[in-house]
C-alpha cells in the first residue's frame, strides 16, 4: 500500500512540473479551399492565412490538429500529431497544414510566414485559392 501511495505522489509531482508555454499562435494552410479555423488543444490558430492570436497558454504534449472547410463546414483531422515540447523559448508557434493533411509545427521568434514548401505548393497549384495576394 505504501508503494502505491508513493508512486501516486511521484506521478502527481512529475505532472505538476510540466510547464505550459505562453506564445502567440498562427496557422497557414496550403489547401484548395478556405478554412474557417485551425484548432489544436481547443485553441483556434486562425483561418489559416497567417493571422495571429496572442498570449495563448499551450500545454506540452502531442496533439492532433483539426480544421473546417469554410464553404461546407466539413471537419478534417491531421494525419499526424504535432508536438509541443516543454519549456520552449519562442514567441510564435505556427501550424502549417498541407493538402495531404500533414501538419508541421514551427517555433520561431520571427514574424510567421508561409514555409518554402508551402510557397512552392501554391505556385504549382494555381487552381488553389490565393491568400493575402501574396502568391
Give the separation between CA 84 and CA 101, rounded to whole angstroms: 18
- Residue 2 scores a pLDDT above 50: no
Whether the pTM exceeds 0.85: the reply is no
Residue ranges with strand state E in 31-81: 35-40, 43-44, 53-58, 61-63, 66-69, 75-77
Residues 63-78 have pLDDT tens digits of 999 999 988 999 999 9
Q: Three-state DSSP class for 91?
A: coil
Whole-number Cα distances in Å, 118 to 23, 49, 90, 131: 23, 12, 22, 12
Residues 97-115 have pLDDT tens digits of 999 999 999 999 999 999 9
- Residue 121 scores a pLDDT above 90: no
Q: Three-state DSSP class for 49?
A: strand
- Residue 22 scores a pLDDT above 70: yes
Band (pLDDT 50/70/90 cuts) for residue 21 is confident
Amino acid at each position: 500500500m505504501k508503494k502505491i501511495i508513493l508512486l501516486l505522489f511521484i506521478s502527481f509531482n512529475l505532472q505538476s512540473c510540466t510547464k505550459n508555454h505562453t506564445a502567440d499562435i498562427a496557422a497557414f494552410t496550403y489547401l484548395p479551399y478556405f478554412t474557417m479555423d485551425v484548432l489544436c488543444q481547443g485553441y483556434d490558430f486562425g483561418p489559416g492565412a497567417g493571422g495571429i492570436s496572442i498570449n495563448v497558454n499551450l500545454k506540452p504534449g502531442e496533439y492532433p490538429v483539426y480544421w473546417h472547410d469554410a464553404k461546407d463546414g466539413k471537419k478534417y483531422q491531421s494525419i499526424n500529431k504535432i508536438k509541443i515540447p516543454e519549456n520552449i523559448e519562442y514567441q510564435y508557434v505556427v501550424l502549417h497544414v498541407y493538402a495531404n493533411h500533414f501538419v508541421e509545427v514551427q517555433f520561431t521568434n520571427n514574424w510567421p510566414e508561409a514555409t518554402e514548401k508551402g510557397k512552392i505548393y501554391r505556385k504549382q497549384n494555381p487552381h488553389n485559392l490565393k491568400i493575402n495576394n501574396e502568391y
